[in-house]
Amino acid sequence: ETTERSTSTPATVDSFKDEFLRQLRYEQGVELGTASRDDLFQALARTVRNYMVDNWLTTVETQKAAGSKVVAYLSAEYLMGPQLDNALLSTGLTDVADTALSSLGLSLDDIRATEVEPGLGNGGLGRLAACFIDSLATKNIPAIGYGIRYEYGIFRQTFVDGRQVEQPDSWLSNGTPWEIPHTDQAVEVAFGGHTEQAIDQTGRSVTRWVPGETVLAVPYNYMVPGYGTANVNTLRLWSAKATNAFNLHIFNSGDYESAVRAQTVAENISKVLYPEDSTPQGKELRLKQQYFFVAASIKDFLRTLPEGFDLKKLPERIVFQLNDTHPVIGVPELMRILVDERGLAWEDAWDITRRSFNYTCHTLLPEALEVWSVDLLGRLLPRHLEIIYRINEQFLAGIRATYPGDELRVRRMSIIQEQPERAVRMAFLATVGSTKVNGVAALHSDLLRDKVLDDFSAYWPDKFTNVTNGITPRRFVQLSNPSLANLIDDTIGTGWLNDLERLKELEPYAEDASFRKAFREVKQANKDRFVSLLAQRDGIELSSDALFDVMVKRLHEYKRQMLKLLHVVTIYDRVLKGEIKAADLTPRVVVFGAKAAPGYKMAKEIIFLINSVAKVVNNAPELEGRLRVAFPANYNVTLAEKLIPAADLSEQISLAGKEASGTGNMKFALNGALTIGTLDGANVEIHELVGGENFFLFGMTEPEVQSLSDAGYHPTSFYEGNASLRGAIDLISSGIFSGGDRTAFEFVISDLLYKDRFMVLADYQTYIEAQERVEVAYADQESWSRKAILNVARTGFFTSDRSIQDYLDRIWHAPAFPVTK
């Protein structure tokens, strides 16, 4: 069903200009002539925002009235990136804004550069959430994203003497024009206390949670405009505020100072995004954050249901998608509400709960799987712990019935682990409490089913499915690469941006020399653009006349930045030894971008090593004009949008079986970079789609990794058996990159030689050979362009619109609800 709606304020250049000037004068309180860049940005952003409000309110109202099924995406992270350009794109106001600003002597380009991105995520998982809400809106799905309004997002990375130093990301210091707070809609969230038995009005014995403290969750709304539709969805982020009880306490207690301090403690809940993204620390505040936003979100949704709503029909009205285990506490929370507060029978409540939740797993590394100690959970959420115990008891009874006498299996599958401490395994709770469990790429989903959760898939074969990740082409093609988007428009017409498989129509043009030339010119212009940005952003001077070889992602051992670095060092070593002539090298610019979790020592040492190598290589006269290494600090979405379109070569070199999917890999391919990669995560699907001739494949497969590991992996034997590898490692140990200090990188090097958990040395040789194939291929520019074009033409599959369609078909079953046309 569709609803007629009036179109929003007609946007003419004049009306846009008027609104902009009004914003400047009456909201910013400045004259045009004295406005700062931030004034101009705030006024412009609010002008554009106001053009979306009518559609937003219509969307929200008509969906509510229709009672359509809502997808509630629960995610602790949303890595949104800058918002202005996306808002302009979806409202179709880019040209209007450009013209209006020009007529005032202002430049849209200058103003947009002022925006501070909301970095409310660590990496892949948070950026995926941002792409998904974009696609949900574009596909007219009634959906809401729930999360946390961190006051400080992912830290700003700086380098001091080559070492990472973190600075707080105070993204809200000038306020943000994109949010609308609703203090009046705040909900209370409770913590601590104890449980007790009570008798309700009907004489039944019930359990009651008597919390020790409460905080307020204040919602901040952000509009999520769809592309090519009037639908505008909502992202609702919660901010913690001390409750009135708290404030009362302040005035009544004699101890004013400690009362104010207590207020700060309450408001700390949404203060900062945890920058750890691999080893969960079991920090109390983190669990508080998780419960805080999930409890607020569930309450928020339930209050939109009509009076007297039959809760057995809840799964027809909502589906909660758990983005990793971070929101899994929502499972016992919904049980608590249904059983303790709404008086449903346990069995009915369990049926409703299980039918309302689904779980996406984003990792394979055992150390990244969250567990919460029973001790901490019992202190913070005593009623939830009781509920988890009961869920587990019932679940294990089912296991015992199916596998009589198999107590080993029962122990393996228990939601509660006993060793090294009693703790709740959140991935197991999520699996038990959900209808569907999905991995994020074909290989990952297979490994989840057959390895990480094999007992569960044997018990519930139909519970497991795959949804391969995707990325929004609005941000990562149209906005980040307008020259390529124009070329595509000119070649196959418009309409591909929300129908990305249409890129297939580009395939024949791979054989068209004039198209290849135009395509190369786009790439060259993007390189030039990146080079000038880097000069101004970081003072890094690069030549754009080179192969751009790019590795950007969080710094993790499993992602193997060290492998890329060993390649760089190998080139230098061979030149120094005269084994190759620098003049024979293809000029290459290697770009790294990576943040390390502040407490991850190895990752930080690797950053220091990369910077140390870069400094020497960039100053080596032998390598002048042939090899440069750039490591701009603080890689983020803003930089990604400029860097990815400039890349020729995309480094996706994780050890097979470790990278769940990767999404950077998709962004590069869609922007015409060729991948050098292992058969890991979504690389497998990229390789399959673009074809082996258009992909530089190397390294062990996952089964090969498994056999090597089973047979006993000895990295030293690879070192000893490979002169080139030995040369590179010995060069690092020689002190040449550390002013003669031979021990500077011992921490990294001795780990590689004696542990090498991610088998860098085992894959070194095939990686170097693959890089040699890259050199040969790049020398033939016509052939390289052909390959690059085919990468673009064949990777339309990786639009997040397709991912969302897969979620709809396999998991959510929520119909689209367009509010217009």
List, by residue number, the catalytic residues.
Answer: 362, 553-554, 559, 663, 667
Q: Are 487 and 701 in contact (CB under 8 A)?
A: no
Nearer to ligand 26V, 531 or 653 (CB): 653
Nearer to ligand 26V, 123 or 142 (CB): 123
DSSP E strand boundaries for 567-639 = 588-593, 627-630
Find the shortest distance in angstroms from Cβ 325 to ligand 26V.
Answer: 8
Nearer to ligand 26V, 340 or 680 (CB): 680
Can you give the binding site for ligand 26V, defined by CB under 6 A? 122-125, 128, 274, 276-277, 280, 362-363, 368, 370, 440, 469, 659-663, 681
* Alpha-helical runs (H) found in 403-543: 407-413, 426-432, 442-447, 454-459, 473, 482-492, 513-538
Find the shortest distance in angstroms from Cβ 132 to ligand 26V.
Answer: 10
- Decide: helix, strand or coil at residue 8: coil
C-alpha to C-alpha distance for 444 and 450, rounded to whole angstroms: 10
Find the shortest distance in angstroms from Cβ 556 to ligand 26V.
Answer: 8
C-alpha to C-alpha distance for 43 and 21, rounded to whole angstroms: 8
Q: Are 124 and 244 in contact (CB under 8 A)?
A: no
Find the shortest distance in angstroms from Cβ 779 to ligand 26V.
Answer: 33
Find the shortest distance in angstroms from Cβ 555 to ligand 26V.
Answer: 12
Nearer to ligand 26V, 219 or 664 (CB): 664
Nearer to ligand 26V, 101 or 644 (CB): 644
Helix (H) / strand (E) element for 157: namely: strand 156-160
Find the shortest distance in angstroms from Cβ 553 to ligand 26V.
Answer: 9
What b/e sequence results for 730-767 when a residue is b if at least 16 CB atoms lie within 10 Å of its CB, and e otherwise?
Answer: ebbbeebbbeeeeebbeebbebbbeebebbbbbbbbeb
* Beta bridge pairs of residue 749: none
* Tokens 């502040």, located at residue: 598
Judge residue 67's burial from the number of C-beta atoms within 10 Å of its C-beta, 0-12 exposed, 13-18 middle, 19 or more buried: middle
C-alpha to C-alpha distance for 472 and 133, rounded to whole angstroms: 9
Q: What type of residue is 223?
A: M
Nearer to ligand 26V, 438 or 478 (CB): 438
83 CB-near residues (< 8 Å, 6+ apart)? 45, 115, 118, 178
Q: What type of residue is 98?
A: D
Closest-by-Cβ residue to ligand 26V is 124
420: cis peptide before it, omega within 30°?
yes
- What's the number of CA atoms in the CB half-sphere (13 Å) around residue 806? 21
Find the shortest distance in angstroms from Cβ 519 to ligand 26V.
Answer: 27
Find the shortest distance in angstroms from Cβ 721 to ligand 26V.
Answer: 31
* Tokens 């009205």, located at residue: 317
Nearer to ligand 26V, 101 or 131 (CB): 131
Nearer to ligand 26V, 381 or 666 (CB): 666
| The token pair that represents 792 in the structure block | 């673009």
* Alpha-helical runs (H) found in 31-123: 37-66, 84-91, 94-103, 108-112
